[in-house]
Amino acid sequence: MSRSFNLYLSNLVIAAPMVVAVIVDAILFGLLSLFFFGFAFAGWPLHYAFHPYPLFAGFFLMIALVSFLAFVVNTVAGGVVADMSWRIVEGRPYSLESSFNYIKQFAPQLIVAGIVAGIFILLLSLIPIVGTAVGMTLFAPLPLLIVRGRDVVDSLRRSVEIVIDSVSRRFEVPLASFIVFLLGVAGGRAFQLLVTLVGYPYIVLLYALYMREMGVY
């Protein structure tokens, strides 16, 4: 744990992709809010008062589109963090630009894997808070596997196996991951932002170091 923490502190730029993702998300949802405000200001809701279904459908599509774009941005950012983590633990040169250019080829796999993992996490969310944190922990190594060239199905399966195996090998690794994600789920917006910007990059780096030291991929 101490080595991963020292690596993280000496390579804080690893959080840059998530900072960019948060800024882009804020812009996307800010534009969506402005659209709704302008829509209401123009008095269009009154125009649809007797025929509200097209209005509701339009709103739903707008929200779905912006949410999907935000998901894609965050997923790609996670892929960049994963590649930077590998480069750090392997002692290779890295930069935000080089990692982004490298992981672009894996963007479709990252998105599909993220959607499937999200569905599993949603199912685990039936157990409030704890289930969500467990699900997020199980798929913490997922982007690390995708950017290594594994296919989606194998990466999903292997991610869960690595986390479960790490419980008996180095219990502090999944425990740290679970606590970070638990704080993000149970805390308010401030905690969620903190986990996104600081906690998530650290957990990915932690698992990259663990996987390299244990020789598991």
Distance CA(35)–CA(187), nearest Å, equals 29
The mean per-residue pLDDT over the stretch 197-211 comes to 95
Instruction: Express as a percent the part of the chain with pLDDT over 90.
Output: 72
Residue 44: pLDDT above 60?
A: no
Question: 22: Cβ–Cβ under 8 A, 6 or more apart, which residues?
Answer: 193, 196, 197
- What is the model's pLDDT at position 39? 60
Cα–Cα distances in angstroms (integers) from residue 181 to residues 7, 17, 192, in the given order: 20, 18, 9
Residue 212: pLDDT above 90?
A: yes
Distance CA(119)–CA(148), nearest Å, equals 23
Q: Band of the pLDDT at 192, cuts 50, 70, 90?
A: confident
31, two tokens: 């534009």
The mean per-residue pLDDT over the stretch 181-185 comes to 92
- What is the model's pLDDT at position 74? 96
- Quick: pLDDT tens for 119-163: 999 999 999 899 999 999 999 999 999 999 999 999 999 999 999
- What is the model's pLDDT at position 61? 86
82, two tokens: 């994963």
For 86: left if phi > 0, alpha if psi spans -120 to 50, otherwise beta; the answer is alpha
The mean per-residue pLDDT over the stretch 63-84 comes to 95
- What is the model's pLDDT at position 180? 94
Distance CA(150)–CA(194), nearest Å, equals 30
Domain limits, the chain: 2-214
Distance CA(88)–CA(101), nearest Å, equals 17
- What is the model's pLDDT at position 62? 85
Contact 97, 136 (CB under 8 A): no
pTM exceeding the 0.85 threshold for the entire prediction: yes
Q: Band of the pLDDT at 32, cuts 50, 70, 90?
A: confident
